[in-house]
């Protein structure tokens, strides 16, 4: 399956919800109640980053016990990460960047994927390879809304999920751009709420985020 086919084989990750929560899970036991809170709040696409030892178990638990969630693996940076994420039941893949080897592994997985970019040259290289949906990272540090607006003219065929430094106040500016399908963020997952396992608060913040589409 080529890149374009892989990205068109399933509904676009960019269109599942206006915001994709970017989740760092330290304890896999929190994965299911956290995912249920996010889904109840209207955010079905959940990116679990592969930054902790519990991440793959968390993906596996969400995939098995929260079928209404579309769980993906983030911080995918090696072909081995791709294989492990697929085995755990991930339904999409997200990387902060890409290499030819990583791109080939993501393409071969058959899952929708969002390789990361932060420059026009990286976007062009992906477009050459048939990939039109990407993560823009780190969004705020790499130029934010003005940057994405600027490249939308010459490269209208590229669509993005900006992630990195985006909050409740800045998200609407991104979502108002024609070349942005959704944004990634963590603001609906405040550390104190997670530490207290305050899933009702997470659900409330998720609902607020889900209503951001202009």
pLDDT in tens, 3-58: 444 444 456 899 989 999 999 999 999 999 999 999 999 999 999 999 999 999 99
212 is a domain residue: no
Cβ burial, residue 57 (10 Å; 0-12/13-18/19+)? middle
- Print the domain residue range for 92: 3-207
Nearest to 61 by CA among 51, 78, 46, 74: 46
Query: Which of 47, 80, 104, 128 is labelled catalytic?
Result: 47
C-alpha dihedral (104, 90, 162, 10), degrees to nearest 10: 80
Is 47 catalytic? The answer is yes
The pLDDT of residue 1 is 41
Give the orientation angle of helix 55-65 with respect to helix 79-88, to 10 degrees.
30
User: Could you say which residues of the chain have pLDDT below 50?
Assistant: 1-9
122 is known as an active-site residue: no
Of the listed 26, 135, 140, 208, which one is catalytic? Answer: 135
Quote the number of domains for the chain. 1
pLDDT (0 to 100) of residue 8: 45
pTM for this one? 0.94
41 in any annotated domain: yes
Do 14 and 181 form a contact (C-beta atoms < 8 A)? yes
Position 120 in a domain: yes
């Amino acid at each position: 399956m080529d890149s374009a086919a892989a990205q068109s084989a399933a509904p676009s990750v960019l269109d599942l919800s206006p915001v994709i929560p970017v989740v760092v899970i330290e304890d896999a036991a929190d994965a299911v109640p956290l995912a249920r809170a996010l889904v109840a709040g209207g955010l079905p696409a959940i990116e679990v980053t592969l930054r902790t030892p519990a991440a793959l178990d968390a993906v596996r638990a969400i995939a098995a016990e929260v079928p209404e969630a579309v769980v993906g693996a983030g911080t995918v940076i090696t072909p081995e990460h791709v294989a492990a994420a697929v085995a755990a039941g991930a339904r999409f893949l997200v990387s902060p960047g890409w290499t030819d080897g990583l791109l080939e592994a993501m393409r071969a997985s058959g899952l929708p994927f969002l390789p990361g970019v932060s420059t026009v040259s990286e976007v062009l290289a992906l477009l050459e390879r048939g990939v039109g949906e990407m993560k823009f990272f780190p969004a705020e540090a790499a130029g934010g809304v003005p940057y994405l607006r600027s490249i939308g003219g010459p490269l209208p065929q590229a669509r993005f999920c900006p992630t990195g430094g985006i909050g409740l106040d800045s998200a609407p500016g991104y979502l108002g751009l024609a070349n942005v399908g959704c944004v990634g963020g963590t603001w609906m997952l405040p550390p104190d709420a997670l530490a207290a396992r305050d899933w009702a608060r997470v659900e409330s913040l998720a609902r607020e985020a889900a209503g951001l589409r202009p």
